[in-house]
Amino acid sequence: MIILDTKKDYKNHINLLKSRGEIISLVPTMGNLHNGHLSLVKIAKQNSSKVITTIFINPLQFGKDEDFASYPRTINKDISKLKKLNCDVLFVPKSQNEVFNNIDNLKHLKAGPKGSILCGNFRPGHFDGVLKVVYTLFKLTYPDLSVFGLKDFQQLYLIKQMAKIYFPKLKIISAPTIRTKNGLALSSRNSYLDKESIKTAPLFYRTLLDGINNLNNSNNVEETIKYITANLEKNRFIVNYVSFLTTELEKLKLNTSERKILLSSVKLGQTRLIDNIEFN
């Protein structure tokens, strides 16, 4: 695996790969790689001839009181995991300047109304920050395809929208959420959970599954949201939101053939968890 840490070396290497006609896939991450990330790399591997993974903890997507400083940094472990999967290139910028040398040039990247609902409502500016870094990485790489996890459904949706405008030839692949045996969606932030919370956390997904059953029986969205919220609160989750929408993140009308999605974010202690389930 070739490891590069400056924009200049990275761009040179990309040019070399392109001159050889390689099909390039890009897997942007913030490191602390778990099996969810590794599944993205595997999917990228199956769909391209060269896989590039990036590890960059993007300060623009963290709020003032969020965990930028304490976000887990495990670069040596990450490198050995990527080597095992035969990832071809790792770009791990050595400073923020290697990615953002002129943030003013990125002013036009706004997540818009669908970036200020759900998680965006609780994390103002978060998705603008995500779009700025992903756009910048796309611009540096011009990959043929890029892979993102469905666990961050709203993020994936907004990245797809942005890519459609600025990178129309780029294929975005949506990768299924990877869960523990108990159903907890893998996330780097799960490492913040203490022993007690690790036991409780899988109830998040189970409560959402049960909520979909409840909706199928009751056909009443408002009542089902109350039902899910009460069940989560019983188990010490602090509910940020529970929301039923279409997969276009539009208001849901029941009895339509549109794909539907239940999305939720909770806090367990200090740890934010998000999850979602698509259904018909």
- Which residues contact ligand PAF (rule: CB under 6 A)? 28-30, 58, 61, 130, 133-134, 152, 155
Please state the closest distance from residue 109 (CB atom) to ligand PAF, in A: 13
Please state the closest distance from residue 52 (CB atom) to ligand PAF, in A: 13
Please state the closest distance from residue 246 (CB atom) to ligand PAF, in A: 23
In the set 34, 37, 108, 126, the catalytic residue is 37
| Minimum CB distance to ligand PAF smaller for 38 or for 225 | 38
Q: Rounded to an integer, what is the distance from CA 170 to the centroid of its chain?
A: 18
Please state the closest distance from residue 146 (CB atom) to ligand PAF, in A: 9
| Minimum CB distance to ligand PAF smaller for 28 or for 120 | 28
| Minimum CB distance to ligand PAF smaller for 108 or for 253 | 108
| Minimum CB distance to ligand PAF smaller for 17 or for 60 | 60
The secondary structure of the chain, three-state, reads CEEECCHHHHHHHHHHHHHCCCCEEEEEECCCCCHHHHHHHHHHHHCCCEEEEEECCCHHHCCCCCCCCCCCCCHHHHHHHHHHCCCCEEECCCCHHHCCCCHHHHCCCCCCHHHCCCHHHHCCCHHHHHHHHHHHHHHHHCCCEEEEEHHHHHHHHHHHHHHHHHCCCCEEEEECCCECCCCCECCHHHHHCCHHHHHHCHHHHHHHHHHHHHHHHHCCHHHHHHHHHHHHHHCCCEEEEEEEEECCCCECCCCCCCCEEEEEEEEECCEEEEEEEEEC
Cα–Cα distance, 253 to 275 (Å, whole number):
21
Burial environment of residue 18 by CB neighbours within 10 A (0 to 12, 13 to 18, 19 or more): middle
Please state the closest distance from residue 178 (CB atom) to ligand PAF, in A: 13
Is 34 one of the annotated active-site residues of the chain? Answer: no
Cα–Cα distance, 160 to 173 (Å, whole number):
9
| Minimum CB distance to ligand PAF smaller for 162 or for 228 | 162
Please state the closest distance from residue 237 (CB atom) to ligand PAF, in A: 22
| Minimum CB distance to ligand PAF smaller for 155 or for 240 | 155
Q: Which residues pair with 51 in a beta bridge?
A: 25
Cα of first residue to Cα of last residue in the chain, in angstroms, is 42
Active site residues per annotation: 37
